[in-house]
Amino acid sequence: MTNTPLCPRCGETETARHLLWDCTESKKIWKMYNDILSKQSLGNMGVNEYKDLYKNEQVNVLSTIKMKIIKEFIQIVRPTNWNEMRLTKVIADLKKIEFYNSINLNKINNFNNRWKMFENL
């Protein structure tokens, strides 16, 4: 997919772990994610170490959000210079898609229960 084994964001050798966790840009994004969770009183469910990326969350919407962020990481154009507004937009867009699907499937109650901690997004 690329012509070089180097991370296009920081210039270090890009491994899967580097892409998802060790890169300075990845660390910034996970910190913003943790800050958003703290604002929702979910700070204890943050991503604080590499293995947390693979943890299945008790609040299932958080697993969905983590997978969406990881999907952003693995694009050919890697995410750079994100800010909290950009990350909040990713979460809000995911919420809109699930809302639309819940209406079509007549499962709005499931949606409301799943996303209640992010009702202000």
Assigned domain for 6 exists = no
Assigned domain for 4 exists = no
Cα–Cα dist 47/91, whole Å: 16
Q: Is 2 helix (H, G, I), strand (E, B) or coil?
A: coil
Longest dimension (CA), the chain: 48
Q: Please say if the pLDDT value at position 16 is more than 70.
A: yes
Q: Record the pTM.
A: 0.86
Q: How many domains does the chain have?
A: 1
Nearest to 22 by CA among 57, 60, 64, 50: 50
Average pLDDT of the residues in 83-103: 95
Q: Please say if the pLDDT value at position 2 is more than 80.
A: no
Angle between helices 24-39 and 60-73 (to 10 degrees): 160
Assigned domain for 76 exists = yes
Nearest to 20 by CA among 76, 73, 82: 73
Assigned domain for 111 exists = yes
Q: Please say if the pLDDT value at position 1 is more than 60.
A: no
Q: Is 13 helix (H, G, I), strand (E, B) or coil?
A: strand
Assigned domain for 75 exists = yes
Assigned domain for 20 exists = yes
Assigned domain for 41 exists = yes
pLDDT in tens, 72-87: 998 888 888 899 999 9
Instruction: Indicate the pLDDT class of residue 106, thresholds 50, 70 and 90.
Output: very high
- For residue 35, the 8-state DSSP code is H
Domain assignment of residue 59, given as a range: 16-118
Assigned domain for 5 exists = no
Q: Is 57 helix (H, G, I), strand (E, B) or coil?
A: coil
